């Protein structure tokens, strides 16, 4: 049976919600003393609405919904598919770009604003799976090991039953069920150091199943707000399996010289930064930092202000010391040596603080990040200051070398590494002009301030998007990534726990002063980095 439900626009708006002022006190409320326990099965049965709703849930195979979305003030549309129990697809489209997140039952993946497709791992994958768990109504079938009743809580005069769910690993989702209606109205979860709060409202029956036609989400730490208003819901309709599968897309938004296996692009390397000449929209000659730690290409507004690039939206980005919103613009072209990327959506922000911190000259144009590096297999040859960029259609890696697998965190390569034998997950960041930056929690939890040597205040600090943070330098006896290792490596320990340095899911950030000991090949299509002995690979 296929059930359709169409509704007019929702009348609830975020300004009417208590969510904003509740975010700061939710942790206290969650930890408050518990009231008298209740029977959870009875509560969840009541929240389902009726015996007919439970029957609908038991027969549920697919959910298709669509409607409108507002992301940080920019309006768009969305389509959403769930195939019970383990497939998920969400497409959010705006005037100038779209974003996709999906899970095919085994692989979580995403499509970025320039159409690039990549696997999703780590805490971002778990967050996607948690969405699937609740949006497929699997939480109503949870067992005693997946849930715990924490009593009642009063939020702004409304009394709620508080239930903790543990759907994946040690992640916890706190759900607030309205005592009077038993509706699930608030969800609180964590994505690394960010607390996400969602309000669900405007419940309407679809085949007797109470379905939320409105959802407002916020994350105070990153000034992030979304509103989803559902227009149409279809239960048990036909949803092709292919929509959940990770597509194999050969990027066609670039020009690579015909009949060429590889091109060589000279770069200048100074103070830990790789500087590559670029031409923006065929008119603006500049140079950019090669930055695997940037999840997109980021242009310096001072360099592109005269180009009148069309704006297509805004998104929050995480930097070294905190979060900032970045404008999104579309370029006609972005030329790097003999390579050209066409009609790319890029970030545009004032990078004056970065420029002044590192003493860049006035021709500084920005950063070449994921959208450039992921298009081509690329050997960063520190030994002679050149990039060897391979044609992705005919690429074979040079022989030799040590391959290290990576996954992407916020579109940044992430590897397993060890410092003095202590393991953790580290992003690989060519834009980091230091050697290794150890994140605040990793230093604290492993007492590294007392286990490393030569600890001293670093007066220069560590800078990038989001600002500059102070800290201490120290020496590690060994730092090892896969089969490669460096001894007596100087590392940086930030004083601050904000921004990416405050990540609790990542141990640190591997920068150029470590990578420069090798020639390093980035192969995003095969999710690997290959370390070669310096000078051992020659270009044709």
For residue 370, count CB atoms less than 10 angstroms from its CB and return exposed for 0-12, middle for 13-18, buried for 19 or more: buried
Do 66 and 203 fall into the same domain?
A: yes
Under a CB-based contact definition with an 8 Å cutoff, are residues 413 and 292 in contact? yes
Radius of gyration in angstroms for the set of CA atoms belonging to the chain, rounded to a whole number: 25
List 103's β-bridge partners, or say none: 88, 108
Do 88 and 220 fall into the same domain?
A: yes
Do 384 and 507 fall into the same domain?
A: no
Mean pLDDT of 152-171: 87
Non-local (6+) Cβ contacts of 155 within 8 A are 18, 22, 29, 176, 186
Do 373 and 408 fall into the same domain?
A: no
Decide if 112 is inside a domain.
yes
For residue 296, count CB atoms less than 10 angstroms from its CB and return exposed for 0-12, middle for 13-18, buried for 19 or more: buried
Non-local (6+) Cβ contacts of 19 within 8 A are 186, 197, 199, 216, 218
Span of 16-25, 180-189, 437-446 with lowest mean pLDDT: 16-25
Looking at the predicted structure, is the pLDDT value of residue 416 above 60?
yes
Do 89 and 237 fall into the same domain?
A: yes
Do 154 and 226 fall into the same domain?
A: yes
Three-class SS of residue 539? Answer: coil
Span of 114-128, 323-337, 492-506 with lowest mean pLDDT: 492-506
Torsion sign over Cα 211, 213, 214, 215:
positive
Decide if 274 is inside a domain.
yes
For residue 136, count CB atoms less than 10 angstroms from its CB and return exposed for 0-12, middle for 13-18, buried for 19 or more: buried
Domain boundary residue among 366, 390, 414? Answer: 390
The pLDDT of residue 12 is 29
Question: In this structure, what CATH number is given to the domain that contains residue 84?
Answer: 2.50.20.10
User: Percentage of the chain surpassing pLDDT 90?
Assistant: 56
Domain boundary residue among 390, 415, 433? Answer: 390
Do 368 and 453 fall into the same domain?
A: no
The pLDDT of residue 36 is 58
More confident: 466 or 505 = 505
* 454: alpha, beta or left? (left if phi > 0; alpha if psi -120 to 50): left
Domain tally, the chain = 3
Structural domain for 168, as ranges: 3-244
Cis peptide before 85 (omega within 30 of 0): yes
How long is the chain?
Answer: 540
CA 365 – CA 385 distance, rounded (Å): 20
The pLDDT of residue 323 is 60
Looking at the predicted structure, is the pLDDT value of residue 423 above 60?
yes
User: What is the tens place of the pLDDT at every residue in 89-136?
Assistant: 999 999 888 999 999 999 999 998 888 888 888 878 888 999 999 999
Question: In this structure, what CATH number is given to the domain that contains residue 277?
Answer: 2.40.70.10
Domain boundary residue among 197, 222, 244? Answer: 244
The verdict on pTM exceeding 0.75 is yes
- Would you place residue 503 in the very low, low, confident or very high pLDDT band (cuts 50, 70, 90)? confident
CA 370 – CA 430 distance, rounded (Å): 11
Closest-CA residue to 257 (of 397, 376, 381): 376
Span of 49-63, 262-276, 494-508 with lowest mean pLDDT: 494-508
The pLDDT of residue 496 is 65
CA 518 – CA 16 distance, rounded (Å): 56
The pLDDT of residue 240 is 93
Decide if 467 is inside a domain.
yes
Q: CA-CA distances (angstroms) from residue 200 to 80, 184, 216, 217, 383?
A: 16, 7, 7, 9, 56
Do 221 and 260 fall into the same domain?
A: no
Terminal Cα-to-Cα distance of the chain (whole angstroms): 62
* Residue given tokens 């699997």 in the structure block: 138
The pLDDT of residue 250 is 58
User: What is the tens place of the pLDDT at every residue in 311-321?
Assistant: 888 877 765 54
The pLDDT of residue 116 is 86
Mean pLDDT of 362-374: 91
CA 202 – CA 148 distance, rounded (Å): 26
More confident: 9 or 200 = 200
Do 341 and 359 fall into the same domain?
A: yes
Decide if 538 is inside a domain.
no
What rounded mean pLDDT belongs to the chain? 86
The pLDDT of residue 385 is 95
Under a CB-based contact definition with an 8 Å cutoff, are residues 244 and 227 in contact? no
Looking at the predicted structure, is the pLDDT value of residue 540 above 60?
no
List 473's β-bridge partners, or say none: 456, 492
Non-local (6+) Cβ contacts of 10 within 8 A are 201, 202, 213, 214, 229, 230
Do 80 and 219 fall into the same domain?
A: yes
Looking at the predicted structure, is the pLDDT value of residue 510 above 70?
yes
- Would you place residue 190 in the very low, low, confident or very high pLDDT band (cuts 50, 70, 90)? confident
Do 338 and 463 fall into the same domain?
A: no
Decide if 167 is inside a domain.
yes
Decide if 397 is inside a domain.
no
The pLDDT of residue 32 is 54
The pLDDT of residue 361 is 78
CA 435 – CA 337 distance, rounded (Å): 28
Do 29 and 175 fall into the same domain?
A: yes
Decide if 395 is inside a domain.
no
Q: Are strands 262-266 and 386-390 parallel, antiparallel or unpaired?
A: antiparallel
Span of 17-21, 197-201, 342-346, 438-442 with lowest mean pLDDT: 17-21
Decide if 463 is inside a domain.
yes
């Amino acid at each position: 049976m296929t059930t359709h439900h169409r509704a007019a626009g929702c009348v609830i708006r975020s300004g009417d919600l208590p969510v904003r002022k509740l975010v700061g006190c939710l942790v206290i409320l969650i930890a408050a003393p518990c009231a008298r326990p209740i029977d959870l099965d009875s509560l969840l049965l009541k929240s389902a609405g009726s015996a007919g709703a439970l029957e609908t849930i038991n027969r549920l195979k697919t959910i298709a919904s669509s409607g409108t979305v507002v992301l940080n003030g920019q309006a768009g549309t969305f389509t959403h598919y769930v195939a019970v129990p383990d497939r998920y697809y969400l497409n959010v489209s705006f005037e100038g770009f779209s974003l996709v997140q999906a899970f095919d039952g085994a692989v979580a993946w995403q499509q970025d604003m320039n159409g690039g497709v990549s696997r999703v791992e780590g805490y971002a994958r778990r967050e996607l799976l948690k969405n699937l768990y609740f949006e497929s109504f699997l939480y109503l079938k949870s067992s005693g090991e997946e849930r715990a009743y924490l009593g009642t809580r009063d939020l702004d005069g409304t009394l709620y039953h508080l239930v903790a769910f543990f759907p994946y690993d040690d992640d916890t989702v706190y759900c607030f069920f309205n005592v009077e209606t038993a509706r699930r109205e608030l969800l609180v979860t964590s994505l690394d150091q960010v607390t996400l709060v969602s309000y669900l409202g405007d419940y309407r029956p679809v085949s007797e199943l109470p379905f939320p036609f409105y959802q407002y989400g916020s994350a105070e730490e990153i000034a992030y707000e979304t509103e989803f208003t559902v227009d149409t819901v279809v239960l048990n309709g036909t949803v092709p399996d292919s929509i959940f599968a990770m597509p194999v897309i050969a990027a066609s938004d670039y020009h690579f010289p015909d009949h060429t296996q590889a091109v060589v692009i000279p770069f200048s390397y100074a103070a830990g930064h790789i500087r590559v000449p670029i031409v923006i929209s065929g008119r603006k000659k500049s140079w950019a930092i090669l930055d695997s730690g940037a999840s997109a290409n980021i242009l310096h507004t001072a360099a592109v202000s005269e180009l009148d690039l069309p704006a297509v939206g805004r998104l929050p980005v995480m930097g070294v010391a905190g979060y900032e919103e970045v404008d999104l613009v579309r370029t006609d072209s972005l030329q790097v040596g003999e390579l050209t990327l066409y009609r790319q959506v890029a970030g545009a922000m004032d990078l004056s603080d970065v420029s002044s911190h590192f003493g860049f000259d006035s021709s500084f144009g920005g950063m070449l990040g994921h959208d450039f590096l992921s298009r081509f297999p690329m050997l960063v040859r520190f030994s002679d200051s050149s990039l060897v960029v391979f044609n992705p259609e005919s690429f074979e890696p040079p022989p030799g070398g040590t391959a290290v697998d990576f996954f992407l965190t916020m579109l940044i390569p992430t590897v397993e590494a060890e410092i003095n034998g202590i393991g953790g997950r580290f992003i690989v960041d060519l834009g980091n002009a230091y050697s290794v930056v150890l994140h605040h929690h990793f230093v604290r939890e492993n007492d590294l301030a007392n286990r490393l040597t030569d600890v001293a205040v670093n007066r220069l600090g560590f800078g990038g998007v989001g600002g500059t943070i102070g800290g201490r330098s120290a020496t590690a006896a060994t730092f090892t990534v896969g089969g490669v290792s460096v001894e007596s490596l100087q590392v940086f320990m930030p004083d601050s726990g904000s921004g990416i340095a405050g990540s609790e899911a990542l141990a640190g950030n591997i920068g150029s002063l470590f990578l420069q000991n090798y020639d390093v090949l980035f192969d995003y299509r095969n999710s690997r980095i290959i370390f070669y002995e310096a000078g051992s690979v020659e270009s044709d």
